[in-house]
Amino acid sequence: LLALPAAAFMLQDQEVLAAEMERTFIAIKPDGVQRGLISEIISRFERKGFKLVGIKIMVPSKGFAQKHYHALKERPFFNGLSNFLSSGPVIAMVWEGEGVIRYGRKLIGATDPQNSEPGTIRGDLAVVVGRNIIHGSDGPETAKDEISLWFKPEELVSYTNNAEKWIYG
């Protein structure tokens, strides 16, 4: 009888934890998809201990790509970049975990692969800035905006992964 409320409390705790866990938007751009790097990229986030809570494949329209990159609309490469993002299938994902926004950027590496450290996704797998294979939100506000641009709330799942107790202790 005593164990029951304790278990219920623990379950509630986990739900609260899951609800508050940080999320980021990650996309494998058309070059990453065409080069067969989907599993390689997913594997790096997965092995780190982050949790996949949303995923789909889509070809964004040019208008959609412009919305995604709206913060860069004054940059000279904006048009080429929007054309490129809409040139083929993109894998759109939401990853969850402690510090996933900031650490996701570390896994990805610097914007220009020439400046990305070996061991990062862009450092290991890309050569030029215009074909740097992956996108990741650069902060909490962009993460929130990008997740809601690419996903409907019902396309994201909250679940407990049994490995979490070994990842977070």
In 29-169 the beta strands, taken as DSSP E runs, fall at 51-58, 90-96, 134-136
What whole-number distance in Å separates Cα of residue 96 and Cα of residue 88? 26
Residue whose CB is less far from ligand ADP, 53 or 121:
121
Under rule CB under 6 A, which residues in 95-154 are in contact with ligand ADP? 111, 129-130, 132, 135, 138
Using an 8 Å Cβ cutoff, are 136 and 97 in contact? no
Going 71 to 75 to 77 to 80, the CA torsion angle's sign is positive
Using an 8 Å Cβ cutoff, are 50 and 104 in contact? yes
> In the complex, which residue's CB is closest to ligand ADP?
111
Residue 45 assigned to a binding site: no
* Active-site annotation holds for 70: no
- Considering 23, 44, 68, 135, which one is annotated as catalytic? 135
Under rule CB under 6 A, which residues in 26-85 are in contact with ligand ADP? 72, 77, 81
Q: Which chain residues interact with ligand ADP by CB under 6 A?
A: 72, 77, 81, 111, 129-130, 132, 135, 138
Annotated binding-site positions for ATP: 29, 77, 105, 111, 122, 132
